[in-house]
Structure 1
């Protein structure tokens, strides 16, 4: 009876041991020390080697694992000694039956009784996931090291606020070597007024962008933007911080803000800035019961300078005049350029009638002194109109309008006159009405003329195309350039008829030249924003192409950046329909408007035309060079053709060529020409087909 009880108890204990062994996630086996045969194995261990817990018993370790594995593990069995019961650990790398890399960690634990080595417990654990995570982290760190080596943005790694490492860009940004930076507190390089915020950002683990100020080794402060991420490390997590130098970005924003408030040519305040300044001055006058005066200035016969010399000469004259006005005014006075040769001077701070008269004479003397423009002596006269608060108006609009009315009256008297505003002067609305009537007659009678300015390839000098520029045959003023009436035509709802006339005439002329044997080159025309807002421009373009027989690929339509901002879906659909016709699309005066990459990516643009204001400044203004270079590089990256407008010197041409600009137009090539002269120009510069 006792023997049976003992046998049942042994069987129960064996079953419990088997249950425990089979339940463990590891592979478990026991080998006799003397014979190296297996006397026990759990199901996982036996199945791993293609056996069962019953068939593995009695097999030697060599037989169980096979020849290849035995050669790998036999060296680890030697250290197992009775007097040193420490387990032996090792990890084997192998391919699983599924072909995946696998890591098996093995623990050989000696079984010692009474000083004798009785057997060995073998415990095998699949540690592949841990190895894969560790390898992935090492790979990530290696990728991060490679990325940080090539990026231009500074990268710093820190743990608990102490710098672990950085890239070369960090060394350049701070002025310290990486050896000097490693191990130092990151806050040492943050300006004092930003340290508390930086510390809070670091402790909170936030991952958003923050603006801060870095202290360079030379003591200078550098505006920066930082963006941090918490990264897992092999031993502990760390922070990676991307540091961007915001100096250039801030300067660019300041430059854009300046351009929004100033005339790009003369650097004087523009009309918007003048209106704000005048509004503030009037508010002070009302509060303090004081006076102010407004001068409207216009150069006499300025268009003759452009026609007889070139636009560059006209621009230089305007810049010189702007400088003379600045020098002649008092510190508290304000001068703005609001049009081609239209300037406004504001005299705040309660000027007396004698001061107004004296300053008007001083301005006239300064402006009418002889000029030297690129070696050519010039003498010009000035028409000046004066309006004063409160007697001549109590709003910016009224004062500016009345000063302008006085200026026009001075101009009507001849050259070089000054006129104070009086109520009997012709009102601005009357003058506008007369101007509108003349322009309506011009539309009805086709009193327009196209001039054609050649565009050439920068490197070869070959003809690349023409731009058609409309002129108004004014009954009193002769040929009036588009800058002086297009805006007025848009405001009065007359631009559609002008645009339609230009479209049809340009297409007919291009086809006529082609039929006469001249090269088939593109013809560029300008269409106003109102064409895209109010009319079926696609139908009109298709009709013009059909009527003239001109190939659609030879018609280039130039749009302003503001036109692209019209109601998105409608504008995008219209441009896509024009592209479907085969017409090519260009952005005119690029860089002076919104210049948004989003519009370039959204719309099917083929060509960018760099505004002439940047080209004219190219040889002496680093900002202009940077802007033009950026436009050229951006255009090339977007596979757009680039045309530089207003090229008038070989120095400008060479700089543009060095930058990679493909095409140019301007007085260096040719002024805009009437059709017969343009045809003669082609005969001289192109070989007939």
Structure 2
């Protein structure tokens, strides 16, 4: 009988009766008899107890007997089943419900063994002597519910790949540490991780992320917490009170991650990481702290990666001065509206008095006519171009230049390219596509890659292959910032370079350091042997021009000739030689060469001897 009454039809009938009886106010209900309630409870799939006003158990459903592992509880005092510490709350709940007539719930343990949630519903039972006050207790076994809830909570708060905290779980720990006044926050991003997925497959990428996660576990203590915030970005909560303690910890993490590696065939794959850290004051919000730690991490990536930067007071002041409050959405809107665009700075041949080329330099024009220079937004701009929409944004900026530039038809246009974007098979084709029909066209296009960006972690074999594909397509290649790092000669020999651009810092020191001037002739001769053109950038003084020209470095760029300008202004300029009284400020001025100042005569003679 019990099994047949447990059918779906019976359950629907039960729900209908309960809704009819208990869905009304106490006064409006049709009060059931005890016999009717016994029948309902007999077929109920849910554990139910009928309890008198004085706490005596009158009836219990078969499912309640199964849950409590006893069918002899009728006549027992309910107080003997409820955990003693929960009795006052239970009694108060019953009194309150009797007054309001509304169901309410309480969690407790029955018979010292069964964690349950009790739904208490007051009712009146119809008897031959009148109505009697009673309670219907619905029991929910929460031991299984808690297991499921705990499992769900774990999945929400933990990353499924690494087992570290998820972004949500990590931010909870960040808030808790901040409230305790001991929040040391470290954010880190694995350098050049995309090249692992692209070159060795996503399985290898996942394996490396697991190795990084294990490295983080080994580097942190029991009172710390580590999380994977998304992709190859991780975070650590490190409770501390001193900046020095936090940056020392960040450096320890950096070195630990550097040693993490995974096997891929016969190779070991590893990557460095860039870190940003902050020990926020109590009046700084968690959101501000995360933003500043992220900015410090981006700064670490932009100046060479594999380093940790502390967002201390000096960094925050500099960050604010450099437009740190600029959001990605503002940058996106500025590109779409044309406020962010490429300016051009001429590259002049001081010997032939002609414009040899232009370098495209991104600028942000504000509505009030002022300019925001790249150091205030370039990090976020580059991060945006790495996203899926980045290809179309870069294409738009580059096409604007190529479509509108009309002056000096034979002069090339140079665009800066991030080296790590070329460490992926197929990068050359994607880059060529961003120039549309101008790829391989009449006006040469030069791609500038920074000497500073080379490091042993890059897949240089893939980079070389992609560079050779670009050259075969018609692009020229320039090695920028030459002299700012080591292994320059090897770079010239190994890579298909057409142009070398001397680092601006090297040019700045020409007039002050004789040791800086001495290598000019050897550099010029070496590039001549390799059929590589030299460009000196950052030329701002006449003496620099003459010293470079004496070293046979005739292609020069800098404010001495012209600042970067919008394309429409570049199209309207004219070349002026010397100090033409009719020259306009918008013209490109090529100073006339004169004899070097007396203070440079000895240096020039020594340079000439070295050259010979």
| Greater relative contact order (CA < 8 Å, ≥ 6 in sequence) | 2
Structure 2 length-normalised TM:
0.40
Structure 1 length-normalised TM:
0.36
